[in-house]
Chain A
């Protein structure tokens, strides 16, 4: 009968399903929940080849993965939680999801501003959120050099910014709160809201400069690097923001070891490798800056944007904790 055939089919599917989830249990494996997506494979493969330790990872979005680890608790498979912003790392630390690490290697490799004061998590790559502009339409002396400048009326209708739901926007505003205070930051963001065309991603922002919708934007530096890699005549240039002030805001991709890790030492070995020998493999493919000052950035950004720049020295944990305030500030400023 049809119902019997149906049951058979269902049984087969169920068997497949069980087969598909019977992974894990392997001792020499590090498992990572990661909100970072790009170039993981390359770096992890290299690590596996060097050490014989294999890595399994689950990609997702930062906030949800953190919720999952918190909910799973002891049962979680995650040895490491990796994100693309400081906010969720700070929140995870606050929720007590991380182990405090005692690692001279990490402390040496990662500058103090880019790690948790309690050594619960460490930044592994730096992504500068800075000013990009059209060199065709702006003469060198017109190019804005600070975040504040973009809030002034002269830029009305000429700025492209990313929406408030985006973590990069939020962390930039959080760092502004950290350096300028809530009211100072509010004034800037309100100016932005008046001036800007709000867009849903950085690539569109860059293309909008190319196509004349705006003259200037704030994006992560590596999006521009990608465009320039494909087309070295791409008509957008980069300006390091706030070089004479607090420095350019750097949002980070970082990681910590969960309290529930099966083998914290193994996981620590991976983080140490990523912060030292693995830095290039981890950051170069996406044109990010290494956090380790001893590691040189990859050629394209080094030659086009410069080897170094003045980065905001506020501790990442501080503006990570200010993320919630930043969201409220964006609400208050009526920033789309």
Chain B
């Protein structure tokens, strides 16, 4: 080792002791950790993706001849519809809340992200139960206007698009609002002062500046829609993800199902690519730039009423009404003679859900911090590529991740046993470790994206200053980066936690015996079509998920006041 020789003679008191080996380690540390994390994230999917190397031509041919073309069309239509809906709702509401003051506008700013707490499968079954053909609304309609009175088909592509839009628009809303609070809003004002009309200013200034935020939000929305396979089935929409499960569960051909899962992955990669293109070279935030948000205008009279009504209707449709319906069912069941099965174990399910969501959020935030900070402390593009790779789990449906994790962990077990480090029993699968691993693989991406966006706001010079003042990278992350990007770190943690609280298929497959979560409880009842009995656990998921969502809301409004 070529250790640097400290020179003799007194240097000023600022000189520090030479520790060359440690320096080496810290230099190596970031890329190694990033590489390990990326590998751990890719392996489970890799286990399945290898099946593509030896494709089952027969199945592909058969699918191409029968369902696949329609599935591709349905997938595309669904994605486009939900994206357009989320843009309109998320972007429009963000503008309404940021640019105007009207009765309740501040409160709506808080409440409009509440649908994040609503699992799409819950809104799906409530919607079908209430306004589907056999629901009370349509029955009343037919009683009033006759048996053949026209009513929009709820169980349809349109219904699916509306339901996904209502639960997913908050992702766009959140990011668009943050962007409006920063430069975009101010630039719009400047454009108006330069004589541009509202539409021209929106088209030429506002939209281009909002584009990165809108693109990022829509990408999340598309991923969530693409990897769903439960909600779409309520609405009879046959996507590629549904196809994967039909093949897997129906023909027991896991390899063929994996091959079709890579098709989902390809679509996901296209979405990521699209997002990169749309984001373009735009940078979030500029050092020293005084970011004046948009100055809100006060609305009066009919305009104020219209704005209020718009917000109220969206909130009611996406959150208020379904929650009320679930509460109604839950009370009915609780007071009925049947009761909700397993209600006595409620606290246990709640505790399990909380443990799982917290652990996943903590693990994902720590990993995201390591991956996003890596490039600041280490040269080379490796880390950037590695952190891109970790998004792969978000691009495939949950059960695919889960079975991949099972295979990976079993392989790991075998390797460990092979070298005499055999773990007792099933540490690998069916343990909380495996479960958190799978959750983290699946949900690292949303956390990573949020934290990356936050870190981009911290100028490189701030990091360099801290280093030149003698701080080690880990201490800089803790003392400078996390405090400065705390809103983003919290956002990342909340997005991961909320997704983890709602996640079902991974828990279903990977959890240890006796470890049931709120969504598993809901599933056990819903899968037997006991929807009314499932109301209480579904309500519990929503209430619990509202906690982190509320935290986020609080932090965001504090953040808005501080700037």
Give A residues with C-beta under 8 Å from B.
1-3, 9-10, 13-14, 16-18, 20-21, 23-24, 31, 37-38, 41, 56-65, 67-68, 71-73, 75-77, 87-88, 91, 163-165, 167, 170, 198-204, 207-208, 210-213, 223, 286, 323-324, 326-328, 331-332, 334, 336
Contact = CB atoms under 8 A, between A and B. Distances in A.
Nearest to A18: B432
B103 interface: no
A58 B133 contact: no
Given A21-B512, A60-B508, A200 B410 contact: no
Nearest to B520: A59
Interface stretch (B17-25, B204-212, B401-409): B401-409
A213 B358 CA distance: 46
A9 B247 CA distance: 43
Given A31-B513, A57-B513, A212 B478 contact: no
Output the residue of B62, B66, B529 with the most chain A CB within 10 A: B529
B24 to A, nearest CB: 24
Given A23-B514, A211-B134, 6 more contacts: A21-B515, A37-B528, A200-B233, A203-B529, A208-B134, A328-B62
B155 A211 contact: no
B105 interface: no
Interface residues of B, number: 72
Interface of B: 62-63, 66-67, 128, 132-134, 138-139, 142, 147, 155, 233-236, 238, 242, 245-254, 341-342, 352, 355, 358-359, 362, 399, 402-403, 406-407, 410, 413, 425-426, 428-433, 436, 478, 482-483, 505, 508-516, 520, 524-525, 527-529, 531
A167 B528 CA distance: 13
B252 A38 contact: no
A-side interface mostly: helix
Nearest to A4: B478
Given A13-B359, A72-B406, A323 B250 contact: yes
A87 B410 CA distance: 25
A71 B155 contact: no
Contacts of B515: 20-21
Contact of A76 (B63, B128, B359, B426): B426
Contacts of A88: 252
Contacts of B509: 60-61, 64-65, 67-68
Given A58-B511, A61-B249, A165-B245, A14 B236 contact: no
B477 to A, nearest CB: 9
Contact of A204 (B66, B132, B406): B132
Q: Which secondary structure dominates where chain B touches chain A?
A: helix
A68 B438 CA distance: 14
Nearest to B59: A328
A63 B249 contact: yes
Closest 3 CB pairs of A and B: A207-B134, A327-B250, A324-B251
Nearest to B148: A212
B512 to A, nearest CB: 5
B430 A77 contact: yes
Contacts of A63: 248-249, 252
* Residue of A1, A20, A208 with most chain B CB atoms under a 10 A cut-off: A20
Contacts of B67: 331
Contacts of B236: 163, 198-200, 336
Nearest to A91: B252
B327 to A, nearest CB: 20
A319 B409 CA distance: 34
Given A163-B233, A198-B236, A21 B253 contact: no
Contact of B66 (A41, A203, A286, A331): A331
A7 B448 CA distance: 20
7 contacts: A2-B483, A17-B433, A61-B527, A64-B399, A67-B509, A76-B426, A165-B233
Nearest to B250: A327
A318 to B, nearest CB: 15
A208 B399 CA distance: 31
Contacts of A72: 406, 410, 426, 429-430
Contact of B432 (A20, A223, A324): A20
Contact of B352 (A20, A73, A164, A223): A20
A81 to B, nearest CB: 13
B513 A56 contact: yes
A3 B236 CA distance: 49
A143 to B, nearest CB: 21
Nearest to B70: A334
B257 to A, nearest CB: 9
A17 B431 CA distance: 9
A58 B513 contact: yes
Contacts of A56: 513-514
Contact of B513 (A24, A37, A75, A331): A24
Contacts of B235: 200
Nearest to B124: A200
A57 B515 CA distance: 10
A188 to B, nearest CB: 17
Q: Which of B139, B238, B249, B402 has the most CB of A within 10 A?
A: B249
Nearest to A229: B338
Contacts of A14: 359
Contacts of A57: 513
A21 B341 contact: no
A211 B63 contact: no
B252 A324 contact: yes
Contacts of B407: 71
A3 B432 CA distance: 24
B529 A223 contact: yes
A323 B512 contact: no
Of the listed residues A63, A73, A213, A334, the one surrounded by the most CB atoms of chain B closer than 10 A to its CB is A63
A38 B528 contact: yes
Contacts of A223: 529
B429 to A, nearest CB: 5
Contacts of A64: 399, 402-403, 505, 508-509
B359 A213 contact: no
Contacts of A77: 425-426, 430, 513
Contacts of B516: 59
A37 B524 contact: yes
Contacts of A208: 133-134
Contacts of A62: 249
Contacts of A212: 142, 147
A229 to B, nearest CB: 10
B139 A211 contact: yes
A77 B510 CA distance: 12
A276 B511 CA distance: 31
